[in-house]
Amino acid sequence: MKELRQSTILLIEDETEIAEILRLYLEHEGFACHHVTDGRRSLELLRRLKPDLIVLDIRLPGQNGIDILQNLRAESAVPIIMLTALSDDVNKLVSLRLGADDYITKPFNPAEVVARVHAVLRRAQGGIQGQRDQGMIEVGPLSIDSARHVVQVNLAESVQNLALTLTEFKLLEFLARQPDRCFSRYELIEACMPESDALDRVVDSHLSKLRKKLSEAGCTGMIETVRGVGYRLWQAR
């Protein structure tokens, strides 16, 4: 059913002029756009609207975008694009660490935002649809279900699902398709975030977060940083 309806974008932005322009552009592209000026009801809206993507401003009155991002991520892997100020380098990195899928720096061209929205949605939906028939990937204690976007950690003492962001999932899945092989950061960017102008340190940030989640689930040492080259996922370690 999902393919038949409009994609819904939730826009959380306190500057109403910016929000109005974005809404016009997004609606012109055929998206349904729901705008709120603060994050107070973001979780309620997430549950009720089930948006396909969220555009979230970092600087908001009351609860800031970083806190809202954390709350949303605790509950959902919905794609999230952050809007940041030019000087917000720290927040850009923090938000990627916390699971944002992309960020856009203000001032921006609204057409650029629309292009990023399309790209992130394509990535999200491609991840689900393109791999629907490819079944499960088993690497060490990990079972990766590409169709359902679920990663299960099967250890003797426990079985648990990993809560990953879309980008973390794509990276893990990509590495897991050829375990023990080393990939460069460039290859990882090309394969997992081709539309973004991602830097090496952005890949590092996603992978360090992924590694932390794996460690917390009992899979320490699976992702190795290969100095001067990139990363690999070990089958057995």
Question: Which residues make up the interface to Ca ion (CB under 5 A)?
Answer: 14, 57, 59
The rounded distance, in Å, linking the Cα atoms of 168 and 72 is 16
Per the structure block, which two tokens stand in for 107? 């001032």
The rounded distance, in Å, linking the Cα atoms of 103 and 57 is 10
State which residue, 106 or 177, has the beta carbon closest to Ca ion: 106
State which residue, 57 or 102, has the beta carbon closest to Ca ion: 57
Q: What is the maximum alpha-carbon separation in the chain?
A: 55
Strands (E), 156-219: 158-162, 182-184
Q: How big is the chain by its Cα radius of gyration, in Å?
A: 18
State which residue, 106 or 118, has the beta carbon closest to Ca ion: 106
Q: In angstroms, what is the minimal distance from the CB of 96 to Ca ion?
A: 19
Q: In angstroms, what is the minimal distance from the CB of 33 to Ca ion?
A: 17
- Residue 102's SS3 state is strand
What number of other Cβ atoms are within 10 A of residue 111's Cβ? 10
Which residues, 6+ apart, have CB-to-CB distance to 131 below 8 Å?
146, 147, 173
State which residue, 40 or 177, has the beta carbon closest to Ca ion: 40
Q: In angstroms, what is the minimal distance from the CB of 5 to Ca ion?
A: 30
Q: Sign of the C-alpha dihedral, residues 134, 165, 211, 181? A: positive
Q: In angstroms, what is the minimal distance from the CB of 184 to Ca ion?
A: 37
Q: In angstroms, what is the minimal distance from the CB of 221 to Ca ion?
A: 41
State which residue, 57 or 88, has the beta carbon closest to Ca ion: 57
